[in-house]
Structure 1
Amino acid sequence: MAWKWRSVTKTIFMVLSSVFMLALIYRGFLGWNTVFLLPAENDNIHIRPTPRNQTVDKRIYDDGDTGKITQDITGSQNVSADKVILMTYGRTGSTWFGHLFDYNPNAFYYFEPFQSLKRHLVRSKILRYPPNTFRILSSKDNILPMITQIADSFLNCRFSEVPLQILAPDPPTHMSFTDEGRHKQLTSYKTCITSGKDDASCVPLLLSACHNASIVAFKTLRMKIEMAEELLTKNPSLKVLHLVRDPRAMLLSMEKTFPYYRQFENQPVEERPHADVKGICGAMEDNIKSYIKLKSKFPERIQDLRYEDMVQDPMAKAVEVYKFLEQPMPSVVRDWVRNSTSSNVDNGPYGTSRVDPVQTAYKWIPSISPKFAKMIDVECKMPIQHYGYGNFFELKLKYDLPDSYRTEKLHF
């Protein structure tokens, strides 16, 4: 009987010892301290402990990897730069408009910060923040307030409050960020995140560029105009540009550009799936209502832009944008506008050079099927009227004419 008791005691002792050893390993690996980077406003958000064995290099590297400067990445103070959000929809020429800032050597411009966040959240609900903290989202979390908060932090260079899934998207290649046509003023940062270093160690380069800029701007397809009210209130130097295009041109361009829709192009219009007509038209209508409200509250700080007006006189529209921002337009930006709108080469559906931008703006008219155009006319009646586009048959009469007549009579 005694030997059985000793055996049980020995077993209990071994189990307790194992638990104790595992606890020590857990403590050494993860550390006891939990860093709450973002306030958890409900019990469904948790912050994982910061691993003790992961260090973050906070040095700033220049292009030659010399002249190292020690700098914190928190960026706790609001920046004094003018802030700009370009809000728009897909297939509106927004990449061209974004280049008005991307080519500016005095601007800190970011292409589609929330695009990569959306892709990431499909795969994972864990967000990493620099230098090395984590936030776990639940299905009950409302993403829109979080996006507004991230936008505010981004505009003020508080990058410790912006997920690395935005700052260094799509690792390890980061192709969506390092594309040759994007982030032209952030070459040092692009080099850093593709060098094999921990992405968080490169964030001080962003902070330096952001703090040295006279304009901090980003373009987004994933924010509603109503979300700008809080940001405009909190940031007196913020201005919002709302870029629109004829919804029929947008939707047809989506169907001709995105592979999913192209596979159905030979099917009858009424039988094939279409781009989200109701969704696009509904979003435009909601944004118009919010724009009217914010325009009365912030009359000098929010402005509509029509793609069709830009192609009529790109330089005048570019000058108008910089005048609205009360910023000088650098000569390098003027040169780019002149070259991109008088190019000998059309560089594709995602490019920004067009042989004839005016023709690009209206070539959808003879291409779209009348049934599809009528469908959009019905769903998008309010936006079409609000922006003065006219119904499809009016446009077809005006623009679907021989080139010689259009050039001679309509002077574009």
Structure 2
Amino acid sequence: MIFRVKQFMERLAVRVTRPCINDMFWFRKIWRLKLVLICFALLTLFLFSKSGGDLNTSKNFFLSRSLIDDGTVKTTVNNTSRSLFLSTKPRTMVIILTYMRSGSSLTGDLIQQSPDVFYVYEPLYTLAKLRKTETHLTYFNKPDKENTAKRYDLNARELMESMLTCNSYDIDIHTLRQYHYGGSKTTKKYLECLKISQGVMGTASCLPLFQNACANSKVSVMKTIRMSVKSLKPLMTKFPTLKVVHLIRDPRGTLRSQQTVGEFKIKDAINATVKFCSRVIDDLKASTELYKVFPGRIKTVRYEDIAEAPIKATDEIYKFIGLNMTSSIRDYIWNITSAGHPDNCVICTTRNSSIATAYKWRQKLKFDVVTMIDNVCSTVYNKLGYLPLKNVNDMKNMKISVKKPMKFTP
């Protein structure tokens, strides 16, 4: 009897405690699930803010339509961009088209010293980078666009048009957040704003700084190494005030500098030389054809001419664009090219001697490499007036010129 009572009590205890145990189990399980969801939400917010801070590493998920189609964003963009765009008067537009390591940073800096200029440094950088992964272009309140190699020229022209006409409304959000805005006096404040204003809403709130700087200028200037001369024809046809500065450097200087910054390895020098000089030849041919259609709107400039006579060369470029050269601009040019400032930065424009910088390759390149470039790029030399070298002594003797005087049309 006692045994049966004991057995009954044990069964009763199990029945009573089992619901409690089950309740505790589910309670813990629910809290674990809540913690996971909270962590996921925090991670999402963190990544979203990061995507706004460094657009070049952001993902499409964080710039999806559901996040961008916000009424506040639309209102902000419409009010700050559309209204200013519509009120913008016809303006002079300039594209500095050149190649990597060809003196474009210096040339762009000289031009942006005019208070009439709105200057953007490498507007196509992000577009070209995203093309490699075929990342879609995302906008504030219009459909995404494909960004493939096949569509690159079209996307590039549309982006350049939006930049040149101060229509930031039609610029993709990735480009609006690229860090290259630090390379321009007129976009530095905008970049500073972006650094403290994360995400899509942050971009929209900073946009008036970009828009106003552009709309209040008389000349909009874009510097790019990521377009061909041929691809400019539709833009030049559409905008009669658009002018092109085609900037070219001695292939020996360009290729040596490209190799130094890691664009290609020395073992690939021949292929890199063939590719580069073929591109320059194509651009020169296209430039000649466009000059026939648009006379007076394309100017070919050698970087070495700027380096040797920076004030004179800049004055000529200013006249071509329609800018006024002032004494303060002349002083600035002298200070950054001839005044003995330090020269320890590969992308800086301040040089202790612009001539020494332009011809540094004569002291650094091996003569067999120079001979190879001379042979491969002979057509470029003939068109631009560069001279091949006979021996090492001639290469290192700075009194011997490696170019002849030329006037270009274009």
- Please classify the TM superposition score into its range, dividing by the shorter chain length: 0.7 to 0.9
TM-score normalized with structure 2 length: 0.73
CA distance in 2, matches of 1:315, 1:144: 34
1:184 alignment partner AA: K
Residue 225 of structure 1: how far off its partner (Å): 0.5
2:73 alignment partner AA: V
CA distance in 2, matches of 1:58, 1:364: 53
> Quick check: 2:92–2:241 contact (8 Å CA) kept in 1?
yes
Residue 185 in 1 paired to residue 186 in 2? yes
Residue 215 of structure 1: how far off its partner (Å): 0.9
CA distance in 2, matches of 1:136, 1:229: 22
CA distance in 2, matches of 1:255, 1:391: 20
> Quick check: 2:91–2:241 contact (8 Å CA) kept in 1?
yes
Residue 242 of structure 1 aligns to a residue in which SS? strand
CA-to-partner distance for each residue in 1:111-165, whole Å, 9 max, x for gaps?
Answer: 0011122223334512122x34451416574211221122122211111221122
Q: Please name the residue that 1:12 is paired with.
A: none
Residue 187 of structure 1: how far off its partner (Å): 3.7
2:283 alignment partner AA: N
CA distance in 2, matches of 1:340, 1:140: 38
Q: Please name the residue that 2:221 is paired with.
A: 217
Residue 306 of structure 1: how far off its partner (Å): 0.3
Q: Which structure 1 segments of 5+ residues have no match?
A: 1-46, 61-68, 265-271, 408-412
**1:38-77 equivalence runs, <5 A:** 48=65, 51-53=68-70, 55-56=72-73, 71-73=80-82, 75-77=84-86
CA distance in 2, matches of 1:49, 1:74: 25
CA-to-partner distance for each residue in 1:321-341, whole Å, 9 max, x for gaps?
Answer: 101112212444322211001
Q: Please name the residue that 2:102 is paired with.
A: 92
1:276 alignment partner AA: A
Q: Please name the residue that 1:238 is paired with.
A: 242
Q: Please name the residue that 1:204 is paired with.
A: 208
> Quick check: 1:347–1:353 contact (8 Å CA) kept in 2?
no
CA distance in 1, matches of 2:291, 2:126: 30
Residue 186 of structure 1: how far off its partner (Å): 2.8
Residue 51 of structure 1: how far off its partner (Å): 5.0
TM-score normalized with structure 1 length: 0.73
Q: CA 1:59–1:163 in structure 2 vs 1: closer, same or farther (change >3 Å)?
A: closer
Residue 353 in 1 paired to residue 350 in 2? yes
Q: Please name the residue that 1:303 is paired with.
A: 299
Q: Please name the residue that 1:34 is paired with.
A: none
Q: Which has the higher helix share?
A: 2
Residue 399 of structure 1: how far off its partner (Å): 5.2
Residue 204 of structure 1: how far off its partner (Å): 2.2
Match of 2:164 among 144, 155, 175: 155
2:304 alignment partner AA: E
Q: CA 1:59–1:333 in structure 2 vs 1: closer, same or farther (change >3 Å)?
A: farther
CA distance in 2, matches of 1:328, 1:362: 30
> Quick check: 1:226–1:287 contact (8 Å CA) kept in 2?
yes
> Quick check: 2:127–2:156 contact (8 Å CA) kept in 1?
no
Match of 2:367 among 366, 370, 379: 370
Q: Which structure 2 segments of 5+ residues have no match?
A: 1-63, 402-410
**1:309-324 equivalence runs, <5 A:** 309-324=305-320
Residue 81 in 1 paired to residue 91 in 2? yes
Residue 282 of structure 1: how far off its partner (Å): 0.9
1:356 alignment partner AA: S
> Quick check: 1:50–1:132 contact (8 Å CA) kept in 2?
no
CA distance in 2, matches of 1:138, 1:348: 33
Residue 341 of structure 1 aligns to a residue in which SS? helix
Match of 1:143 among 152, 170, 176: 152
2:192 alignment partner AA: T
Residue 59 of structure 1: how far off its partner (Å): 6.0
Residue 290 of structure 1: how far off its partner (Å): 0.3
2:248 alignment partner AA: V
> Quick check: 2:134–2:148 contact (8 Å CA) kept in 1?
no
CA-to-partner distance for each residue in 1:230-260, whole Å, 9 max, x for gaps?
Answer: 1111111111000001111110111123286
Which of the two has higher C-alpha Rg? 2
Identity %: 28
CA distance in 1, matches of 2:125, 2:110: 20
CA distance in 2, matches of 1:323, 1:384: 27
2:286 alignment partner AA: S
2:258 alignment partner AA: M
2:239 alignment partner AA: N
CA distance in 1, matches of 2:383, 2:83: 43
CA-to-partner distance for each residue in 1:79-125, whole Å, 9 max, x for gaps?
Answer: 42211100001111110100123322221100001112222333451
> Quick check: 1:362–1:399 contact (8 Å CA) kept in 2?
no
Q: CA 1:116–1:74 in structure 2 vs 1: closer, same or farther (change >3 Å)?
A: farther
CA distance in 2, matches of 1:53, 1:229: 37
CA distance in 2, matches of 1:51, 1:297: 42
